[in-house]
Amino acid sequence: MTASRPKVFVNCAISLDGRLAYAGGRRAMLSGPEDLRRVQRLRAASSAILVGAGTVLADDPSLRVHWDLLSEPPGPGPVRIILDSMGRTPEGSRVLDGSQPTLIAVSERCERRFPATAEMLVAGRERVELDRLWSLLAGRGLRSVLVEGGGNVIASVLRSGSFDRVTVYVAPVVIGGRTAPSLALGPETPDQASAVPLRFERAEPLGAGVVLTYGPVHGSVEPGP
C-alpha cells in the first residue's frame, strides 16, 4: 500500500469480443465454475469490492464472498463500495441488506440519505473522484480494493492510471451487437494517444476460458479532444 491509496485490482469476465453483458446491459454469467472460484479467492483476499451504481441498478449484486466455493473457513469478508455520486442505489438493493459493511461513495451534490446498513462517504464535488476516494479508503486502513465493474467504472480506473493489476476471464463465447457493453466504456478514444496501454503479464487457461493478466504502463491517460 502506498501512502495515498490502497492497492487497486481490476477483475471482470468478458466474452471473446470484449463484452461484459448481453444487449442493453442484461447480466451475462460469463464465468465458469473454475473462474467463479478464482473470483471468490480474489474477493476473500481483498479489503473491499467496488462497483458503480450502474452495476447495482443492472444486476443487484450481493458483492459477498461465497465461502462455500472455497476450502478455507469463512473470514470477515470485504467491505462493499458503490460509486454513486447522486445516491441512485435503490432501496432494497442487496448491497443495502446489512450483511456486510457497505460504503456508498457520493458527491457533495448528493441529497439522498441511506439506511444505517450503509455508510455514506463524500468523495468528490460533482462526482466521485477516484483519487479522493482512494485516500479516504487508505486513511481507514483498507489495503486493497477489487474493482469488478462495470464498464464506466473500469474505464475511469484504467484512465486514472491508479491501478496495480488487471485480470480478465475471457469466456469462449461471442456476444456481438451494438448495445452489449464492453469492458471499458466512458469517453470516446479517437486515437492511439488517448488509448490506455497495458503491460501484458501472462495468459493462463482456466476451465473453458482463459485468464489474462496485465499491469499498468504509466500514469493517467486523458480521453482525446
Ligand X SMILES: NC(=O)c1ccc[n+]([C@@H]2O[C@H](COP(=O)([O-])OP(=O)(O)OC[C@H]3O[C@@H](n4cnc5c(N)ncnc54)[C@H](OP(=O)(O)O)[C@@H]3O)[C@@H](O)[C@H]2O)c1
Cis status, amide bond into 150, omega within 30 of 0 = yes
Strand order in the sheet with 198-206: 119-122, 102-106, 79-83, 48-52, 144-149, 7-14, 165-170, 209-216, 198-206
Residue closer to ligand X (CB basis): 59 or 103? 59
Binding residues for ligand X (CB under 6 A): 12-13, 20-21, 25, 27, 30, 51-55, 58-59, 83-86, 88, 127-128, 130, 148-153, 156, 181, 185
The three-class DSSP label of residue 71 is: coil
Nearer to ligand X, 109 or 143 (CB): 109
Nearer to ligand X, 83 or 95 (CB): 83
The residue type found at 107 is S
In three-state secondary structure terms, 49 is strand
Cα(first)–Cα(last) distance of the chain, in Å? Answer: 34
Q: Which is nearer to ligand X, 44 or 82 (CB)?
A: 82
Q: Least distance in Å: CB of 67 to ligand X?
A: 20
Provide the minimum distance between the beta carbon of 187 and ligand X in the complex, in angstroms, as a whole number: 11
Shortest distance, position 73 Cβ to ligand X, whole Å: 27
User: CB of residue 107 vs ligand X: minimum separation in angstroms?
Assistant: 7
